[in-house]
Structure 1
Amino acid sequence: MTTLRPVSTVEALAAALRERVLSGEIVPGAALPEQELSARYGVARPTVREALAVLVHEGLLRRERNRSAYVPEVTAEDLADLMYVRRPLEELMAEALAGRRVAEAEAALDRLDGLPPDAPWAAVVAGHMALHEALIVAVGSPRLGRLYGALAAETRLGLVGLRDAYEDRHELAAEHRELLEVIARGPADAAKQAVRDHLRWRES
């Protein structure tokens, strides 16, 4: 029997704010004053403070002295540098997995492709990240996983800007299905090239 863990108020508030950030409702640079959030969600300010701390820890928010937490901006230069760093990590993944199918990644892709048209963009971001993380985990290198995980927050924030580039969610799923197919077929050189092509950041 599976036991469900009760969700605390802090976790519920963090989840609600996370969805708003990753769906682009809270735009980069926007401040999240504790008092306003407390009034909007009907929770105490310490609860707001803890929920914000969760998202700061995840890298989705930034907090500075004497300033409300806010959504950091990911510039075009940031995205270019992010791809520059992600590319060798994902090429290592492609080389290691060439000729193999990764069931967890294919399951994540099916979930992504099965999202309803009105699903929040945050759900698309989560599905996309789950697919890529499943590929990284399948390599079996804890250090590769840690390096890739360090880029997760910026990658998720960068994906927020792509919501207008993929009006048809199935197009995003199709691109990833093609990537998985090339990796599964191999050889390593073809898999690595597919990763390089995939990581060319699409303009919205």
Structure 2
Amino acid sequence: MLKTVSAVGALADALRQRILSGEIEAGRSLPEQEVAAEYGVARPTVREALAVLVHEGLLRRERNRSAHVPVVTVSDLDDLMYVRRPLEDLMVEAVNGSRVAGADEALARMAALPSDAPWSAAVAEHMTLHEALIEAVGSPRLERLYGVLAAETRLGLVGLREVYTDRDVLVREHRELLDAIAERPLEAARAMVRDHLSHSWGR
């Protein structure tokens, strides 16, 4: 039973964690009545919480159908990386040679997560790290473009829970990435980012 205060936010948080952990699988529908019964909340609360997740891109809803978790295919991920690479390249060019405090802080939080922390917690810090790098460029338009890709990126990261069974590997790879951006010459840093994006998706 969720508390009445901030019930919409609490329900959205609970469902978000389950989606990002993979517990609620891609393609699964979330009928309002079932969610209301499971969490002991009223259907209007469910409707508002689902609307939050639809807005974030973690759910989709067609007219007269229940909200569902979209399926992000390999083809979708290929296209996502195709669009992300030039944006990340702009980021590297702008911040090469400097450390981005927000990214370092997100990495530190990721490293400090307990071993039994949900995968959604690692996903959140992963996203914060990459978004901090983009924000460091200082281009509102770049941030908006990158933000459009955020939902599919988050859903794609759900699949990586099988790749990164040892979270220390995820931490090490991102530490190497941030070090490369801060310390390596521009072309070497660019190559590192390209390799990171390709490797992250199992290429």
Pairwise same-fold verdict (TM > 0.5): yes
Equivalent residue for 1:144? 142
Residue 186 of structure 1: how far off its partner (Å): 3.1
Residues 1:30 and 2:28 aligned together: yes
Q: In 1, distance between residues paired with 2:138 and 2:68?
A: 35
Selected match of 1:178 from 176, 179, 184:
176
Q: In 2, distance between residues paired with 1:113 and 1:170?
A: 7
Q: In 1, distance between residues paired with 2:121 and 2:5?
A: 19
Residues 1:58 and 2:56 aligned together: yes
Q: In 2, distance between residues paired with 1:101 and 1:46?
A: 45
Does the 8 Å CA contact 1:109/1:131 hold for their aligned counterparts? yes
Residue 66 of structure 1: how far off its partner (Å): 1.7
Equivalent residue for 2:201? 202
Q: In 2, distance between residues paired with 1:152 and 1:14?
A: 17
135-144 or 193-202, larger mean C-alpha shift = 193-202
Q: In 2, distance between residues paired with 1:14 and 1:199?
A: 29
Given residue 161 of structure 2, which amino acid in structure 1 is its aligned partner? R
**Which structure carries more helix by proportion?**
2
Q: In 1, distance between residues paired with 2:141 and 2:92?
A: 16
Equivalent residue for 1:3? none
- The TM-score normalised by the length of structure 2 is 0.95
Does the 8 Å CA contact 1:105/1:130 hold for their aligned counterparts? yes
Q: In 2, distance between residues paired with 1:203 and 1:120?
A: 21
Q: In 2, distance between residues paired with 1:197 and 1:203?
A: 11
Q: In 2, distance between residues paired with 1:102 and 1:152?
A: 20
Q: In 2, distance between residues paired with 1:100 and 1:203?
A: 29
Equivalent residue for 2:69? 71
Does the 8 Å CA contact 1:32/1:69 hold for their aligned counterparts? yes
Deviations 1:115-169 (A, max 9, x none): 1111111101001000000000011111110000000000000000010100000
Aligned residues: 199
SS in 2 for 1:161: helix
Q: In 2, distance between residues paired with 1:145 and 1:60?
A: 19
Residue 7 of structure 1: how far off its partner (Å): 5.9
Residues 1:94 and 2:92 aligned together: yes
After superposition, the CA RMSD in angstroms is 1.3
Equivalent residue for 1:192? 190
Residues 1:130 and 2:128 aligned together: yes
Does the 8 Å CA contact 1:30/1:71 hold for their aligned counterparts? yes
Given residue 10 of structure 2, which amino acid in structure 1 is its aligned partner? A
- The TM-score normalised by the length of structure 1 is 0.95
SS in 2 for 1:64: coil
| % identical aligned pairs | 70
Selected match of 2:165 from 154, 164, 167:
167
Residue 202 of structure 1: how far off its partner (Å): 3.3
Given residue 169 of structure 1, which amino acid in structure 2 is its aligned partner? R
Unpaired runs of at least 5, structure 2: none
SS in 2 for 1:81: helix
Q: In 2, distance between residues paired with 1:134 and 1:158?
A: 19
Deviations 1:13-69 (A, max 9, x none): 000000000000000000001001111111000000000000000000000112110
